[in-house]
Amino acid sequence: MKDEEVSRCQIQEWYPRFKSTSIKTVIHELPESFVDYLLDDSGPFLLPLSISNNDPLPNRIHKPEEEEDYTISEQSDNESEQTSTPPPPPSFPDLESEINKSIETLGGAIFPKLNWSSPKDSAWISPNGLLKCTSFSEIVLLLKSSDSLIHDLCHAYDSCTDCNMTRPARFFLALRKWYPSLNPAMEFRCFVRNSILVGISQREVTGFYPILVENKDNLETVIKNFYVNNVCTKFESESYTFDVYVKKDEIVKLLDFNPWCAFTLPLMFTWEELESEQRSTELEFRIVESQLGVRPGLKTAVPYDYLDTSEGSGWDQFLRNADEELRRQTRSSGA
C-alpha cells in the first residue's frame, strides 16, 4: 500500500466526486492551531471559549476543587497564587461561526469526521451518548476525547511501503447530516481487490438481524450493481474498501472509503482470505447467520470494526487501562 492510496480515502478527496450517491456533507479545512489543540494533552481539559450564548455545553475547565474527593494540601501563599489561576480556554471564533452555520444548513444536527475517521470511541461522553452534534462545542468535546483520531492526526501513513509522509499536509472536518432513522443492520463493508469486488460484510457484526438472512441474495445484487455503476470506474485505487448503506427502497448510499489492509478491519473476513488467489474473481457476501455467530460486544462501546485489540496495539493498552480504572472505581465505591 502506498501513500497515494491512503490519501485517496480522505473524505475531502473522494466526496466531491461521489456527492450525488453519498450522504449530505459539508467540509471545513481546520487551522493548524486547532490541530495543535486536539493534540495537546499537556494541561487540563479545556473546551474552547464559545461565542454563542445558546451553546448547550458550558465552557469547561477541569477544576479539582469541585471533585468530591478533593483535599486541600498545605502550601505557601506564593504557591497558591501560582496554582490557583487556570490557563485561559482556547478560542476559535471564526471556525466556530463557520461550523455552526454549516450545522444549520444540514438540518441542525450532524456527526463529525476528520480526514479518515469519526470519533466513535468517544460517543459515551456526549450529552446524548451518540455522535449526534448540534453545536461546535459538542463536536470539539467528541474530537478532544477521542483516542482513535490520533490515527488520523499522527499515524495514517504508518503502514505505507513508500513512507514518504508522516501526516497529511492539511486536516479537514467533515460535517455529515444526521439521520436518526438509519438502521445499523443495513450498513455493509465492501472489499475490492485488483478492481474486482471480492467480498461484502455486514458492518455491525455485534448483532444478528433476521432481515439480512431473508434478503441476503437481493442485497448482494443491489450492492454489486451499485459498485459496477457508481464506484469501480470512478475510484482510482485498484484495491480498497468502501462502506455503504442500503435504504428501504434499495437505494444505496456511499458512506466511506478505506485503504486495503492497514487500519481497516475485515469484519466477517480475514485479510488472508481476502488476499487469497482463490478469491480473485469470486464474490462472497458474509453476514451473521444466527445468534450464535454474533461477535462479542466491547465494554468500551466502540464499534467492532474500529478496533485492533491484538496484543501490543494501542487499543490493547487502552483496554488494560480501562480494566484498571474499573477496578479502582469499584474499590472506591465499596469503601
Which residue in the block uniquely carries the three cell numbers 505505507?
160
Q: Are 27 and 105 in contact (CB under 8 A)?
A: no
Which string of b and e fits 15-32 if b means at least 16 CB within 10 Å?
A: beebeebbbebbbbebee
Cα 284 to Cα 191: distance, rounded to the nearest angstrom:
10
Confidence grade of residue 88 (pLDDT, cut at 50, 70, 90): confident
260 touches 241 (CB < 8 A): yes
Is residue 74 pLDDT above 90, yes or no? no
Residue of 260, 225, 229 lying closest to 242 (CA atoms)? 260
In angstroms, rounded to a whole number, what is the distance separating the alpha carbons of residues 335 and 328?
A: 11
Q: Assess contact for 6 and 157: CB atoms under 8 A.
A: yes
84 falls in which pLDDT band (50, 70, 90)? low
- Which residues make Cβ contacts (< 8 Å) with residue 21, sequence separation at least 6? 226, 230, 252, 253, 254
Q: Determine which of 111-115, 196-200, 307-311 has the lowest per-residue pLDDT on average.
A: 307-311
pLDDT at position 325 is: 56
Whole-prediction pTM value? 0.79
pLDDT at 230 exceeding the cut of 70: yes
Q: How many CB atoms lie within 10 A of CB 192?
A: 22
Percentage of the residues of the chain whose pLDDT score is greater than 90: 63
Poorest-pLDDT segment among 56-65, 133-142, 160-169, 224-233: 56-65
| Residue 97: pLDDT over 70 | yes
**Residue 299 binned pLDDT confidence (cut-offs 50, 70, 90):** very low
Q: Which residue has the higher pLDDT, 276 or 107?
A: 107
**For the residues 220-240, what does the mean pLDDT come to?**
97
Q: Which residue has the higher pLDDT, 277 or 75?
A: 277
pLDDT of the residue at 119: 95
Q: How confident is the model at residue 61 (pLDDT cuts 50, 70, 90)?
A: very low
Please give the pLDDT value at position 313. 46
Mean pLDDT of 227-252: 97
pLDDT tier, 66 (very low <50, low <70, confident <90, very high otherwise) = very low
pLDDT at res. 57? 61
Confidence of residue 164 (pLDDT cuts 50, 70, 90): confident
Question: What number is the average pLDDT over the span 24-39?
Answer: 97
What is the chain's mean pLDDT, rounded?
Answer: 84
Which residues touch 305 (CB under 8 Å, ≥6 apart)? Answer: 189, 203, 205, 265, 267
pLDDT score of 63 more than 80: no
Query: Quick one: pLDDT at residue 1?
Result: 86
Which of the pair, 99 or 62, is modelled with greater confidence? 99
| Structure confidence by residue, pLDDT tens digits, 167-222 | 899 999 999 999 998 999 999 999 999 999 999 999 999 999 999 999 999 999 99
Give which of 266, 264, 252 is closest to 205, Cα–Cα.
266
In percent, how much of the chain has pLDDT > 70?
A: 77
Once rounded to an integer, what is the mean pLDDT over residues 255-278?
91
- Between CA 196 and CA 283 the distance in angstroms is 9
Cell digits of residue 196: 474486482
User: Rg of the chain's alpha carbons, rounded to an integer?
Assistant: 22
Arithmetic mean of pLDDT, 41-67: 62
Q: Please determine, for residue 23, whether its predicted confidence score (pLDDT) is greater than 50.
A: yes
